[in-house]
Structure 1
Amino acid sequence: MRHDLWAPTLVRAVVALVFAAITVFWQEPSPAAGRWVMALFLVGTGLSALFLQVRLNRNESVDLGASRGIPQSYGVLYVLGGALTAVVATSNWVFVLLSAVVLGLCGITELVLGMRFRGEFPLGRDWTLCGAITVFAAMGMVLVETLGTKAELGVVGGAAILIGVTQLIAALSLRHDARAADGTAAHPSREG
């Protein structure tokens, strides 16, 4: 199972860390450019969730019950939200509203999914943490709306740093565990 989880987790980490680096080093983003960067971040995050869903679907040993399709649901919401942010959000308050709603809904969904599977699924704790961070980013974005694009992207970028690092550690751990399981399967211990 860990073979199927590490790659989508790594993709999400890379998307988050690239977005975070852009928001940290970009000193004066224009509102239009800021909307496009946020839109690309939302779409990239959504695509990583859809990639995870594809991997979960191909692995019969993963038992999430009725929750099995939830990553696909919030993945689609991220992608649609990113597209709407790029196309529809012509004013700052619409941009903040759309982004915050998408981040909030997806964050709550991921948080609930993580809390449900925290002890039984390898990504449960990571989903809980990332969901909570995403919800706080959505709230923070609304709170700094009057401060401009740099502040709005900065709040989400700060959250992206935390999510990116968390997901990177999770991906590397999953990859290590998968390789260790392969080594154990290839070389079973001999008992005398």
Structure 2
Amino acid sequence: MAVLITFNADHSATLGLLSFGIFAVLSGLALALLSSRPLGAGVQRSIFIGQGILTVLAGLVALIWPSAGLGFFLFLLSAWAALTGFLELYAGLRTRGRHAASRDWLFVGGLTVILAVVVLVVPPDLQQQFSGQNGVSGVLSTSIIVVGCLGAYGAIAAVYLVIAGLSLKWAPAEVAAAEAGSTDAAPTEAAPTEAVQDGNPS
């Protein structure tokens, strides 16, 4: 989604709906189908499966009506971001300090809520003329700002989640290595004490 928006000069509501729709359907399906095994039974699994279903539905709506206009795009994007963002924030707060991914859920949930706030704050009828260097001029509109923010959201979330995923993948191996190192060092530390008790300082 970030690549599609960044390298496309057309930042219209239609592009926003199409790029969001593709992203939402694919990521929502992955989230709904792959959450069961790592999370197990419980509230967290229900939260993320529900989040995945909401995301897929929002994506399908965007793909079915890609020419519905700017107002429809703003409503759909802000509603999706608010609902799924608060769900992920709740999951992170509920498991803070007790789940390895709680910090990541807090970050991505907060980022998604910020996206919803930005979409709601930008005036829907914004049309501002601007002129740049070398006589370049144009119009800054609501669709340009919101679609650009959607692309930035996708880029930040993608980079963060790759780093977070690799950190979680490598964390168990690092913990096991640390525990093995401390176990190997324990007899060495105890040996001098036993030698002194036997009266043999060597």
Tell me the TM-score normalized by structure 1.
0.75
Which is greater in Rg? 2
Q: Return the alpha-carbon distance in structure 1 between the equivalents of residues 45 and 70 of structure 2.
A: 36
Name the one with the larger strand percent. Answer: 2
1:151-170 matches, cutoff 5 A = 151-170=145-164
Counterpart for residue 78 of structure 2: 100
Counterpart for residue 132 of structure 1: 110
Gaps of 5+ in 1: 1-18
Tell me the TM-score normalized by structure 2.
0.71
Identity, % of aligned positions:
27
1:16-27 matches, cutoff 5 A = 19-27=1-9
Gaps of 5+ in 2: 126-140, 188-202
Supply the AA of the counterpart residue of 1:107: G
1:114 and 2:77 matched: no
Name the one with the larger helix percent. Answer: 1
How many equivalent residue pairs?
169
Secondary structure at the aligned position of 1:68 is classed as helix
Counterpart for residue 69 of structure 2: 91
Q: Return the alpha-carbon distance in structure 2 between the equivalents of residues 121 and 107 of structure 1.
A: 18
Q: Return the alpha-carbon distance in structure 2 between the equivalents of residues 172 and 93 of structure 1.
A: 39
Q: Return the alpha-carbon distance in structure 2 between the equivalents of residues 48 and 181 of structure 1.
A: 29
Please tell me whether the aligned partners of residues 36 and 45 of structure 2 are also in contact (alpha carbons under 8 angstroms).
no
Secondary structure at the aligned position of 1:121 is classed as coil
Q: Return the alpha-carbon distance in structure 2 between the equivalents of residues 51 and 181 of structure 1.
A: 29
Task: Provide, for residues 113-148 of structure 1, a one-character-per-residue CA deviation record: whole Å limited to 9, x for no partner.
Answer: 111112111110111111111011012123334324
Q: Return the alpha-carbon distance in structure 1 between the equivalents of residues 149 and 15 of structure 2.
A: 16
Shift of 1:179: 4.2
Counterpart for residue 6 of structure 1: none
Please tell me whether the aligned partners of residues 6 and 148 of structure 2 are also in contact (alpha carbons under 8 angstroms).
yes
Q: Return the alpha-carbon distance in structure 1 between the equivalents of residues 18 and 163 of structure 2.
A: 28
Which protein, 1 or 2, shows the higher relative CO under an 8 Å CA cutoff with sep ≥ 6? 1
Counterpart for residue 172 of structure 1: 166
